[in-house]
């Protein structure tokens, strides 16, 4: 599968699960697990940050008025979505 197919599958799964209005949906990272022949796809998107404290100084401090959410989607070699998970962006996972 190429990145475009993986992006489309992950995005359609995201659209079916969450009805929250989102924008700037991005493919962030892709890896293939050869043991169980599964693609691990990380996507991100922006949502309005409803939990942010309303503070007139916030804008001056350079805090975006929206929040970027990361999700991990597991896709098998038959293009079936096997899992949809919360993905913690930090701490960054550094591995070869």
Partner 1 sequence: MVVIDSNSLTVLVLGLIDPKIINNHSRTSIYSEEDFRAILEFIPDFDQLLVLPNIWTELDNLLNKYSGKRKYEYIESLMLLTKKTTERYIASLDVVENPAFFDLGLTDSAILELAKDCDLLITSDSRLSDYARASGILVYDMVEFRNKKLLE
Distances (CA, A) of 71 to 12, 51, 54, 56, 57: 13, 19, 26, 30, 30
Residue 35 or 95 having the CB closest to partner 1: 95
> How many residues belong to the site for partner 1 (CB under 8 A)?
28
Residue 16 Cβ vs partner 1, minimum distance, rounded to whole Å: 20
CB of residue 87 vs partner 1: minimum separation in angstroms? 12
Q: Is 1 in the site for partner 1 (CB under 8 A)?
A: no
Per CB under 8 A, the list member of 50, 54, 56, 92 interacting with partner 1 is 92
94 belongs to the binding site for partner 1 (CB under 8 A): yes
Residues forming the site for partner 1 (CB under 8 A): 3-4, 7, 26-31, 44, 46, 58-59, 61-66, 68, 89-96
């Amino acid at each position: 599968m190429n990145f475009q197919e993986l992006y489309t599958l992950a995005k359609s799964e995201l659209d079916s699960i969450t009805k929250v209005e989102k924008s700037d949906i991005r493919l962030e990272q892709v890896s293939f697990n050869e043991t169980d022949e599964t693609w691990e796809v990380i996507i991100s998107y922006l949502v309005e940050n409803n939990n942010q404290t309303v503070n007139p100084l916030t804008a001056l401090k350079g805090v975006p008025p929206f929040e970027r959410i990361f999700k991990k989607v597991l896709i098998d070699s038959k293009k079936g979505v096997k899992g949809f998970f919360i993905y913690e962006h930090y701490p960054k996972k550094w591995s070869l």
